[in-house]
Structure 1
Amino acid sequence: MAGNTFKQKMKGNSGAATPRGRYNLFAFIERKLALTGIFGEGIPVGLVPPFLYAALLALIYIWSNHKAENTIRKIEALQQEVEDIRADVTTLEAAFMYASKQSEVAKKIAPMGIEEIDKPPFKIIVEK
């Protein structure tokens, strides 16, 4: 034995089955992105879980920020609506208070033939 040597991979389209390890995820990524120039031998598999964890945290952060901004927009819209309704209520209360004054009520019931009393009320005493 002269020394250890690597086996040569089978090449050609003879219709024979290809080796099983050739079509795994990392080999596919390496072929499509040509990462051999960056990483040399291949993707360091030990760095994949921390990278995926960081990517997951980034997605959660983006989603959380998006939901917070939507909630802030909804709160601002509701605050504006509350201010508008509060202004309407104040206007209606003022109109009601004005319409319920004694002089205004007297003006409204005058066409019906009802008049305002000028004399104070008196007590009726009934003897048995």
Structure 2
Amino acid sequence: MSKNTNKAKSQSNKAAKKQGFFSRFEQVVSFETVFRDGLPVKFLPYILFYTAICIFYIGHTHYVDKTILKINRLEQEVEDLRADFQTSQAEYKIQSKQSEVAKRVKALKLKESDEPPYKIELTEK
């Protein structure tokens, strides 16, 4: 069998042509010249400031997400409680009707009065 040399050469050429973002960035900005004398301290306050802002931003985003989830959970709970209240209210209205009360009191051997109520009036002397 013969060796496939053309394929190996083409793969090595593709790897040489393909460069990543950081290798291109390193070619444009030479870090060796920037850090030749050590870490440039004049940029340190800016770096710390932007780091603090980023940490605050990330923390605030987490807080907002947690708050939104809590609000959604509470809205669902309120909706469930409202449905329970409406069901209980409808049952109460049905059970408080005169015919329903008469049925429930019949078991206690009580009966409805056939005579209408009368008003007691006091006369002053």
Alignment TM-score > 0.5, same fold: yes
Deviation readout 1:48-72 (Å, 9 max, x if unpaired): 1101110010000100110111011
Candidates 91, 102, 107, aligned match of 1:106: 102
2:79 alignment partner in structure 1 = 83
Q: TM-score, normalised by structure 1?
A: 0.64
Which range moved further: 88-97 or 41-50? 41-50
1:39 alignment partner in structure 2 = 34
2:92 alignment partner in structure 1 = 96
The structure carrying a bigger helix percent of its residues is: 2
C-alpha change, 1:39 and 1:103, in structure 2 (3 Å) is same
Gaps of 5+ in 1: 1-34
1:29 alignment partner in structure 2 = none
2:32 maps to a residue whose letter is G
Q: TM-score, normalised by structure 2?
A: 0.65
Greater RCO structure (CA 8 Å; 6+ sep): 1
Gaps of 5+ in 2: 1-29
User: CA-atom RMSD, angstroms?
Assistant: 2.1
% of aligned pairs identical? 41
Q: How many residues align?
A: 91
SS in 1 for 2:66: helix
